[in-house]
Amino acid sequence: MELQGYAKFHQLLKLDPNPSSIGFGSKVRAGDIIRFASRVRLAKNFKGINLEGYSQETNDGYNAFFLVFLTHSALERFLEINSLELDALGSLMAPYNPEKVIQKFVEKDKKALLYNFIYERINKKLKVKLSDCRNYNSTNVAYISASIRHIFAHGHLCAHSNGVNPKNVYSICTSISDFLLTFMDAEFAKKIDEHYSKEYTDSHVDLEPVYSE
């Protein structure tokens, strides 16, 4: 599954090969956006891993962490091409109802087993942000994905860490990933559509119609 606006993006490049003309960062090149699109596609099409000698429950727990790992890596590319910082995502996410993700993060981890394990191992700045999410003071889902990604990538986080139920981990992580992928897809398409419509109206160069499946 490609990004919604990806085909239109390539049409716009025919008019100007510099993505800054479409509203991306001044130092962003087409290759940066192509890598972002590739990582989003990878996360969208991730169907899990198959671990020999592991229970299905444990396999599902690792699947969940790998999914967030891939999704957050796409988010890092999203931040880069849009010249954004992690803290700026809170306001951008607001129209996409991030509250549901925060609620699931709390309700599926009522004893804070996952939260406490992660909290103890992240840096001071991220501790504050993760705590804000846990206490419903922040709806920036990226703080949770950043925390999980960091601890998992460094080998600390396992499917049963701190006695957490992998089924709950799977529910939390799929909720995070689904939200972030939808958010990035929609925001990318919105930016592309704004410039695509303008070029159709103003440009003397005809753009070919683009149809999505």
Confidence of residue 14 (pLDDT cuts 50, 70, 90): confident
- Say if residue 46's pLDDT is above 80: yes
Confidence of residue 201 (pLDDT cuts 50, 70, 90): low
The contacts of residue 60 (CB under 8 Å, 6+ apart) are 48, 159, 166, 167, 169, 170
Mean pLDDT (the chain, rounded)? 92
Query: Residue ranges of the domains in the chain?
Result: 6-202
Q: Which of 156, 148, 169 is nearest to 73 (CA)?
A: 148
> What pLDDT score was predicted for residue 203?
53
Percentage of the chain lying above the pLDDT 70 cut: 93
Read off the pLDDT of residues 74-94 as tens digits, 9 standing for 90 and up: 999 999 999 999 999 999 999
The contacts of residue 4 (CB under 8 Å, 6+ apart) are 185, 186, 188, 189, 212
> What pLDDT score was predicted for residue 9?
92
> What pLDDT score was predicted for residue 212?
42
**pTM of full prediction above 0.75:** yes
> What pLDDT score was predicted for residue 213?
40
Give the CA radius of gyration of the chain: 19
3-state secondary structure the chain: CCCCCHHHHHHHHHHCCCHHHHCCCCCCCHHHHHHHHHHHHHHHCCCCCCCCCCCHHHHHHHHHHHHHHHHHHHHHHHHHHCCCCHHHHHHHHHHHCCHHHHHHHHHCCCCCHHHHHHHCCCCHHHHHHHHHHHCCCCCCHHHHHHHHHHHHHCCCCCCCHHHCCHHHHHHHHHHHHHHHHHHHHHHHHHHHHHHHHHHHHHCCCCCCCCCCC
Mean pLDDT of 199-209: 55
How far is the C-alpha of 133 from the C-alpha of 104, rounded, in Å? 11
Read off the pLDDT of residues 90-108 as tens digits, 9 standing for 90 and up: 999 999 999 999 999 999 9
Confidence of residue 206 (pLDDT cuts 50, 70, 90): low
Confidence of residue 208 (pLDDT cuts 50, 70, 90): low
Are 48 and 59 in contact, with CB atoms under 8 Å apart? yes
Read off the pLDDT of residues 145-171 as tens digits, 9 standing for 90 and up: 999 999 999 999 999 999 999 999 999
Q: What is the Cβ-side half-sphere exposure of residue 147, based on CA atoms within 13 angstroms?
A: 29
How far is the C-alpha of 124 from the C-alpha of 73, rounded, in Å? 21
The whole-angstrom distance between residue 183's C-alpha and the CA centroid of its chain comes to: 7
Read off the pLDDT of residues 58-69 as tens digits, 9 standing for 90 and up: 999 999 999 999
Token pair recorded at residue 104: 């699931």
Within a 10 A sphere around the Cβ of 95, how many other Cβ atoms? 10
